[in-house]
Amino acid sequence: MLIKIAWRNVWRNKTRSLVIIAAVAIGLWAGFFLMSFYNGLIEQRIRAAIETEISHLQIHHSQFLNDYDIQYYIPSAANLLEQTEKDPLIKAVAARVVIKGMISSASGSTGIQINGVYPEEEDHVTQLGRKLIDGNYFTKEKPYEIIISEKTLKKLKLKLNEKTILTFQDKDGNIAAGAFRIAGIYKTVNTPYDEGNAFVKIYDIDTLAGIAHQCNEVALLLQKGKDVENVKRRLQKEYPQLEIKTWTEISPEMSLLVAASDQTMLIYMSIIMLALAFGIINTMLMAVLERTREIGMMLALGMNRIRVFTMIVFETVFLVFAGTPVGIVLGLGTIAYTHKKGINLKQFSEAYSSLGYSSLIYPTFNIRQFFLMLAMVIGTAFIASLLPARRAFKLKPAEAIRQ
């Protein structure tokens, strides 16, 4: 009976009830969409970092990452490559010679990471060939080719097919230099990465560096990201003398981004729910004030205060629950549509790119977050009902009837 009375009371003022129901639906829709948008942003950044920049695992000499000294190349790299290429959990393997150096033109110079790569293997790991916006990928026939980013090209005022000079220290600490022709220009979604990396063929740079037929970095792209730790442990047992790092260890900011994602979204959702709670409290307090005389009469006729308190709680919960299905349908519908079509923020592409993010975002959602949202809505409904219900509970029948 109490539930029936509470449900009827909700619709005594239809306009006010519909406003709150609409507010709940819009708040829930906004929460779902905001969470999915943030998920899509993070997933896109992580996927770009793994597939374009760092891969799932990297293997180096134990001393190499201290100062990128080229003398610390991987011993028996050929055997390592042969073993990893046979592993069914590993999708692609790329060996590299990584050197910190300078790239120069008549207009100036800038620091650069020179990546000496095997063209075919590198394309399998980072899809470098697909990132080209002008020119061609490496060819076996033409020696001393280089692929640089659009940013570097503009900074040095170079053009396609022109030559640029790479300068670096070789294995013995002597200055080595070579002229390379610009074969291609690439562009990724990460501007800082573009500005800091250039690619040449490994057999054009290893001899200049004094480590012919060697490499100082091996990048592994796995079939499934969840196998990273298993593959790392197995490789550490087989090659204890080498340093093997996962993508979260190579790029700590990526690890922080993943770790902080839930906390960040919880803060956002708490703000939305807090604003929603104040609206519900305001509406229900108005409803209690308007019905002060009525509630006083009910108390005077012997209705238990606990039942009055419970009735107000039910009314508040019904208001919230009436808007929840609408918000869920709107939210999931929007997520499904935008996940398929994507959200293209072209006007902010430069800003996103400067932080390493793509301006094309595909929102995503998971079942854990869905139930987290529902739990927050239920909690908000219950908490928002306490203040109006307490006011009704504290009413004195004689004073309430006189109002």
pLDDT tens, residue by residue, 149-183 = 999 999 999 999 899 999 999 888 899 999 999 99
Whether 232 shows a pLDDT value over 90: the answer reads: yes
Q: What does the alpha-carbon distance between residue 251 and residue 228 come to, in Å, rounded to a whole number?
A: 14
Beta-carbon count within 10 A of 49 CB: 21
Q: What global pTM score does this model have? A: 0.77
Write out pLDDT tens, residues 131-146: 999 999 998 788 899 9
CA distances from 180 to 127, 137, 177, 298 (A): 22, 14, 10, 91
State residue 400's pLDDT score.
58
Place of tokens 């910190």: 100
Whether 305 shows a pLDDT value over 80: the answer reads: no
Whether 104 shows a pLDDT value over 90: the answer reads: yes
Q: What does the alpha-carbon distance between residue 97 and residue 34 come to, in Å, rounded to a whole number?
A: 42
- For 20, counting Cβ atoms within 10 Å of its Cβ (0-12 exposed, 13-18 middle, 19+ buried), the class is buried
Q: What does the alpha-carbon distance between residue 184 and residue 148 come to, in Å, rounded to a whole number?
A: 7
- Nearest Cα neighbor of 205 from 193, 195, 217 is 217
Place of tokens 């929460």: 31
State residue 399's pLDDT score.
65
DSSP string, 260-296: HHHHHHHHHHHHHHHHHHHHHHHHHHHHHHHTHHHHH
State residue 66's pLDDT score.
86
State residue 149's pLDDT score.
93
Whether 55 shows a pLDDT value over 80: the answer reads: yes
